[in-house]
């Protein structure tokens, strides 16, 4: 559940034991009189049931908060270390197994440039059943990588059409 958090519900424990005593008693003259063996074997079973169930629920909520705090700490440290790498001029290799860890950390200046490239913003019509509501503006953003991908796709389609035209002319002959 987290460091130093253990929420125990009902518990059963099983404890086997052995107690052995092998003695050689002596009489008053310090002569060995006999040899005695005493052995005890057994086990103990304990059942522990909490009488107040709210304590377990409270413990689980504390553990959930601790888990959320640890997740936030992880994300903040990850963003900080990625930013430190970028400030030093390094990056993780695209396509590597850890590239995704820093792929969402970008400088604020890059974000403001991306926001400036909003292509379309339109207001949807007011719903007829809520004339007093203010509709939210819908904006579709396009980044530089989206534009490059569209240009590549358009260039890839253009030669493909020319090749098919040549093939059709050769097949007609």
* Strand runs labelled E in 24-154: 36-48, 118-122, 138-141
Better pLDDT: 165 or 12? 12
The predicted structure's pLDDT at residue 172: 47
Q: Is the dihedral of CA 100, 104, 107, 113 positive or negative?
A: positive
Query: CA 117, CA 63: separation in Å to the nearest integer?
Result: 44
Tens of pLDDT, residue by residue over 92-103, are: 888 899 888 888
State which H helix or E strand residue 77 sits in: helix 53-87
- If you average pLDDT over every residue of the chain, what do you get? 77
Q: Where are the domains of the chain?
A: 1-74, 75-123+138-172
Its pTM stands at 0.45
The SS3 call for residue 153 is helix
Sequence-distant (≥ 6) Cβ neighbours of residue 99 within 8 angstroms: 92, 93
Query: CA 167, CA 104: separation in Å to the nearest integer?
Result: 45
A 10 A CB-CB count for 67 gives 13
Tens of pLDDT, residue by residue over 4-61, are: 777 777 889 999 999 888 777 777 777 777 777 888 889 999 998 888 878 888 888 8
């Amino acid at each position: 559940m987290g460091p130093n958090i253990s929420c125990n519900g009902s518990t059963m424990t099983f404890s086997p034991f052995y107690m052995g005593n092998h003695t050689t008693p002596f009489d008053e003259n310090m002569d060995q009189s006999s040899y005695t063996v005493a052995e005890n074997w057994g086990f103990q079973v304990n059942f522990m049931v909490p009488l107040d169930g709210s304590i377990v629920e409270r413990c689980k909520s504390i553990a959930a908060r601790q888990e959320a705090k640890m997740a936030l700490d992880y994300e903040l440290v990850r963003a900080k270390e990625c930013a430190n790498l970028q400030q030093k001029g390094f990056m993780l290799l695209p396509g590597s197994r850890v590239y995704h860890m820093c792929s969402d950390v970008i400088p604020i200046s890059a974000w403001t440039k991306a926001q400036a490239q909003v292509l379309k913003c339109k207001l949807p019509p007011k719903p007829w059943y809520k004339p007093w509501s203010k509709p939210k503006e819908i904006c579709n953003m396009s980044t530089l990588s989206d534009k490059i991908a569209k240009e590549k796709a358009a260039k890839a389609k253009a030669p493909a059409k020319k090749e098919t035209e040549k093939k059709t002319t050769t097949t007609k002959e």
